Amino acid sequence: MTAIDSIDNGVNVQALLEAREVLKGSPEAAQFTWRASTRWENGVHTTTTVKDYFGLGAEQSHKTESVLTADHPEVFAAEDHGITPIEYLLVGLASCLTAGVASVAQNRGIQLRSVEATVEGAHDIRGILGADTDVRNGFNGVKVTFNIDADASKEDIEALVAQSQKRSAVFDALTNPTDVTVEVAP
Amino acid sequence: MTAIDSIDNGVNVQALLEAREVLKGSPEAAQFTWRASTRWENGVHTTTTVKDYFGLGAEQSHKTESVLTADHPEVFAAEDHGITPIEYLLVGLASCLTAGVASVAQNRGIQLRSVEATVEGAHDIRGILGADTDVRNGFNGVKVTFNIDADASKEDIEALVAQSQKRSAVFDALTNPTDVTVEVAP
């Protein structure tokens, strides 16, 4: 057993590297569709369920259905049954970058002991309230800060984070525009 | 009591309209900071907590702390302890647009009976796997479809959805670029 074999961050990098090779030759299998379904409860309180998705050419399911609650806080004259919709973007961003750090560390033979990411999104709510049309509705900026304890130098840890950012689905989705179509069912 | 007084979608529109007027004159109170904190569990499995935020010039807290689990599915050689990070973006998008529909309907005197939004995000996973550098990491496109039962014409319902989209924080965050800074704590 070599030193790198003893590194275990719990990521099956071998399977991912094999998947990469397979999907190079079969791009149709790489086309995933992620889905969510939201039900209005009352006020701005909603319940969203996530279970099924499409990928590898077939319908797939998560092991269990996830149910996510969103609402506005009491300072917005709402009931605060759950986090706000825009906070879900921060959950996605920090979890994506953290998963990437674990994957890249496994691939580079770096043993992680702990990883924590804190994320802050600056939001001028005059946009969504229509108080100033020059203010955008979304975040003015987002900052993610990692605290990582690992068998690696500061430089190697910074390189892990940089590579995670480079491959992150959510980092891309927030920093670059995506076409979003919204329609009413016929 | 007029007809419009009898409309109740559970949204306190009067409070929101008053907040809009107040914040026009005190932009500093409109500066919110939303926060999340992510802990690496094992593999690509993470746990994110959301509780505190800043707004109206002071530290604020949600009534309860929310704990959100993210993971990758078994088809990615992971353990599927929860939804994927990129699915959290769909949760945020559909819940934001649905909350907006309820708010706009209240403001326009339209009684809602039910609102459901289904959202699909197309994702070519060759990007995140590094199988093709021409493929982006995030969504190739997102589609939201509303089913709304309300005391209103098809045209009025379509106008509700259009106005919700126009004021949506998450719609803006996904369709337009945001500056995201990622760093390692000193």
pLDDT tens digits for chain B (186 residues)?
A: 445 568 999 999 999 999 999 999 999 999 999 999 999 999 999 999 999 999 999 999 999 999 999 999 999 999 999 999 999 999 999 999 999 999 999 999 999 999 999 999 999 999 999 999 999 999 999 999 999 999 999 999 999 999 999 999 999 999 999 999 999 998
* Amino acid A23: pLDDT: 94
The Cα of B84 is separated from the nearest Cα of chain A by a number of Å equal to 8
B62 closest CB neighbour out of A77, A80, A114 = A80
Q: Do A138 and B78 touch (CB under 8 A)?
A: no
**What is the 3 state secondary structure string of B42-71?**
ECCEEEEEEEEEEECCEEEEEEEEEEEEEC
| Cβ contact B48:A94 at 8 Å | yes
ipTM for the complex shown: 0.97
The Cα of A185 is separated from the nearest Cα of chain B by a number of Å equal to 6
* Amino acid A6: pLDDT: 84
| Cβ contact B58:B36 at 8 Å | no
pLDDT in tens, A160-171: 999 999 999 999
* pTM of the entire predicted model: 0.97
* Residue of chain A with shortest Cα separation from B125: A30
Q: Do A142 and B181 touch (CB under 8 A)?
A: yes
**In the predicted structure, residue A4 carries a pLDDT above the cut 70:** no
* Amino acid A186: pLDDT: 86
| C-alpha dist (Å) from residue A122 to A66, A74, A143, B35 | 28, 19, 9, 9
| Cβ contact A50:A65 at 8 Å | yes
Q: Show residues of chain B in contact with A146, CB under 8 Å.
A: 182-185
Q: Do B125 and A30 touch (CB under 8 A)?
A: yes
pLDDT in tens, A93-151: 999 999 999 999 999 999 999 999 999 999 999 999 999 999 999 999 999 999 999 99
* Amino acid A159: pLDDT: 98
pLDDT in tens, A13-24: 999 999 999 999
* Amino acid A111: pLDDT: 97
A177 closest CB neighbour out of B121, B177, B183 = B177
Determine the Cα–Cα distance for residues A114 and A179; give it in Å rounded to an integer. Answer: 36
The Cα of A34 is separated from the nearest Cα of chain B by a number of Å equal to 5
pLDDT in tens, A24-44: 999 999 999 999 999 999 999
Count of A-B CB contacts under 8 Å: 466
